Structure 1
Amino acid sequence: MDTTGILRRLVAFDTTSRRSNLDLVHWAADYLEHAGARVRLTSDVSGEKANILATIGRDEPGGIVLSGHTDVVPVDDQDWASDPFVLASRDGRLHGRGAVDMKGFVAACLAAVPGWRARELRRPIHLALSYDEEIGCLGVPLLITDMLAHGPLPALAIIGEPTQMQIGLSHRGFYGYRSVFHGRAAHSSDPRLGASAIEPAAAFIAVLAALGGGDGGTTINIGRIEGGSAINIIPERCEVVWEFRPPDEAAAHAVLAVVEGLATGLAAGVGVETVSLANVPPLSCVPDDPAVAVARGLGGLWPPIAMPFGTEAGFFQQAGIPALVCGPGSIAQAHQPNEWIALAELDAADRFLARVGDWAAEEL
Structure 2
Amino acid sequence: MNLRRFTEEFLRFDTTDCQEAAAQSWFRERLDEFGFEVVEWTADADRLAEHPSFPDDPDELVVADRPSVAGVLEFGDPDAGPTLVLNGHSDVVPAGDDLWESDPFEPTWDGDELTARGAVDMKSNVSACVFAAVDVRDAVENGELNLDGRIVVESVVGEEEGGIGAAAAALDNPYPFDRDAAIVAEPTDLTVVTATEGTVMKRLRITGRSAHAATRWVGESVLPHFERIRHAFEDLEAERGERVQHPLYEEFPVPWPICIGRVQAGSWSSTIPASLTAEIRIGVAPGETVDEVEREYEQRLAEVVADSEWLSEHPPSFERFTIQFESAEIDADEPVVTALQAAMTDAGFDDTDVHGATYGADARHYVEAGIPTVVFGPGTIEQAHFPNETIHWPDVETARETIAAAAQQYLAEN
Change (3 A) 1:270 1:183: farther
1:279, 1:357 → 2: CA distance?
31
For residues 287-330 of structure 1, what are the alpha-carbon distances to aligned partners after superposition, in whole Å with 9 as ceiling and x for unaligned?
A: 33333212113337413333344322223222222222111233
Does residue 147 of structure 2 align to residue 140 of structure 1?
no
Change (3 A) 1:41 1:90: same
Change (3 A) 1:179 1:358: same
Amino acid at match of 1:52: V
Using structure 2 for the length normalisation, give the TM-score.
Answer: 0.72
Deviation at 1:273, TM superposition (A): 5.4
2:315, 2:120 → 1: CA distance?
47
Does residue 141 of structure 2 align to residue 124 of structure 1?
no
Change (3 A) 1:47 1:227: same
Hey, what does 1:348 align to over in structure 2? 398
The 5 Å alignment of 1:36-47 reads 36-43=36-43, 45-47=62-64
Q: Report if aligned partners of 1:160, 1:325 keep a CA contact under 8 Å in 2.
A: yes
Hey, what does 1:331 align to over in structure 2? 381
Number of residue-to-residue matches in the alignment: 359
5+ residue gaps in structure 1?
none
Hey, what does 1:291 align to over in structure 2? 336
Does residue 100 of structure 2 align to residue 50 of structure 1?
no
Out of 267, 273, 291, the position equivalent to 2:312 is 267
Amino acid at match of 2:28: A
Relative to its length, the structure with more strand (as a share) is 1
Amino acid at match of 1:267: S
Deviation at 1:160, TM superposition (A): 0.8
Hey, what does 2:11 align to over in structure 1? 11
Out of 282, 292, 303, the position equivalent to 1:244 is 282
Change (3 A) 1:182 1:28: same
Change (3 A) 1:10 1:304: same
Q: Report if aligned partners of 1:61, 1:154 keep a CA contact under 8 Å in 2.
A: no
Amino acid at match of 1:283: A
Hey, what does 1:20 align to over in structure 2? 19
Change (3 A) 1:225 1:332: closer
1:339, 1:209 → 2: CA distance?
29
Counterpart secondary structure, 2:104: coil
Hey, what does 2:371 align to over in structure 1? 321
Q: Report if aligned partners of 1:100, 1:330 keep a CA contact under 8 Å in 2.
A: yes
Deviation at 1:105, TM superposition (A): 1.5
1:66, 1:138 → 2: CA distance?
17
Change (3 A) 1:269 1:140: same
Change (3 A) 1:154 1:238: same
5+ residue gaps in structure 2?
44-60, 141-145, 242-252
1:184, 1:339 → 2: CA distance?
43
Change (3 A) 1:313 1:197: same
The 5 Å alignment of 1:202-213 reads 204-213=229-238
Q: Report if aligned partners of 2:42, 2:63 keep a CA contact under 8 Å in 1.
A: no
Percent of aligned positions that are identical = 26
Relative to its length, the structure with more helix (as a share) is 2
Out of 57, 67, 71, the position equivalent to 2:91 is 71
Deviation at 1:280, TM superposition (A): 2.0
Q: Report if aligned partners of 2:133, 2:404 keep a CA contact under 8 Å in 1.
A: no
Change (3 A) 1:113 1:294: closer
1:338, 1:276 → 2: CA distance?
29
Amino acid at match of 1:347: E
Deviation at 1:48, TM superposition (A): 4.1
2:357, 2:9 → 1: CA distance?
29
Counterpart secondary structure, 1:52: strand
CA RMSD of aligned residues (A): 3.7
Amino acid at match of 1:313: A
Hey, what does 2:2 align to over in structure 1? 2
Deviation at 1:184, TM superposition (A): 8.7
Using structure 1 for the length normalisation, give the TM-score.
Answer: 0.81
The 5 Å alignment of 1:80-91 reads 80=101, 82-91=102-111
For residues 96-155 of structure 1, what are the alpha-carbon distances to aligned partners after superposition, in whole Å with 9 as ceiling and x for unaligned?
A: 3222221111112223444455647522222222223335444432232233x6555423
